[in-house]
Amino acid sequence: MRDHDFVDDHDAPLGVVVTPERTTKTETPLSRPTGIDWDALDDERIDEIPVLERLQ
């Protein structure tokens, strides 16, 4: 992750970012999501990720 990487509507706040070069604590003031945003996932995406299929 680089300083100029962008954030979109589906990104969630991270507490830690790990790259091959370093580990950085973000100290974000944003709250973490409380669960999976099922409305953001279509059936095809859920089928691609087996653990989501089991959780649904």
pLDDT of residue 40: 87
pTM: 0.50
pLDDT of residue 51: 93
Answer yes or no: is 9 within a domain.
no
pLDDT of residue 44: 93
Structural domain range at position 37: 16-55
pLDDT of residue 2: 59
Answer yes or no: is 2 within a domain.
no
Q: Which two tokens stand for residue 2?
A: 């680089």
Tokens 């370093």 — which residue? 22
Answer yes or no: is 40 within a domain.
yes
pLDDT of residue 17: 85
If one counts the domains in the chain, the total is 1
Tens of pLDDT along the chain (56 residues) come to 555 565 556 677 888 888 888 898 988 888 888 889 899 899 999 999 999 989 98
DSSP structure string for 22-51: -EEE----SPPPSS--GGG--HHHHHHSHH
- Are 14 and 20 spatial neighbours (Cβ–Cβ below 8 Å)? no
Tokens 């653990």 — which residue? 51
Q: What 8-state DSSP symbol labels residue 10?
A: T
